Amino acid sequence: MQVVGKILTVWGQVEFSHASVFPVCVGLAPTLPLTKAYWAVVSFEARQKMVDAAMRAAFQYKPRFLAEWDTLNNRLVAKNKVRNKIAHGSVVKSIQGTTEKLAFVPYFYANMDTNFDHGSGRFKTGMGVADLNAIAKSFGELNRDLREFQQKVFLDQLAQLTQVSPSEAQASQPPHYARARFQAALTRPLRSLLAILRRK
């Protein structure tokens, strides 16, 4: 079933978007150190808890962002459980009379002793293509919403530094120009202070 590969591929995109969200919690432009720290943690469950703790600290005085993050985080926890079922499942053949049918059985090997009915030659639980396509779609929606959340928070941070509203920042400049502007706003006070110190 090709859709199983699609599910795991889209979940990889979810993890990448999750990694991209992590640096916005500190409100600073340099993202590489935090991105490296994110990927240094092997377990997604551990990464999810790490990012959640950082977000709750960052947004404790921003209830709108905190509420939106809470919903996203709950979805991440639930969808990761689904992903694990798929990652540890198997495509099987179920013989029903003279008909051979393919099905996907989550946690196949862990439950193989109780999941197969020798009398009927069928697996008791299994997913069809429609079920798997629905999972792939839900992962794609989560990936999209994580990216939109990242952009929303970034534009809010940009607005605070440049006195430009998030909607104006989004409408007037592509994201990479906005990030360059963000970096300039961060470093301008430091450059001014350095110039003063050099004159002394």
**What is the domain partition of the chain in residue ranges?**
2-87+144-199
d(CA 144, CA 17) in angstroms, rounded, equals 8
What are 141-155's pLDDT values in tens digits? 999 999 999 989 888
* DSSP category for residue 127: B
- Exposed, middle or buried: residue 63 (CB in 10 Å: 0-12, 13-18, 19+)? exposed
Q: What is the structure's pLDDT at 118?
A: 61
What are 53-109's pLDDT values in tens digits? 999 999 999 999 999 999 999 999 999 999 998 988 888 776 566 666 777 877 776
Best CA proximity match to 64, nearest among 130, 122, 149: 149
Q: What is the structure's pLDDT at 194?
A: 56
Whole-model pTM?
0.74
109 sits in which H/E element: none
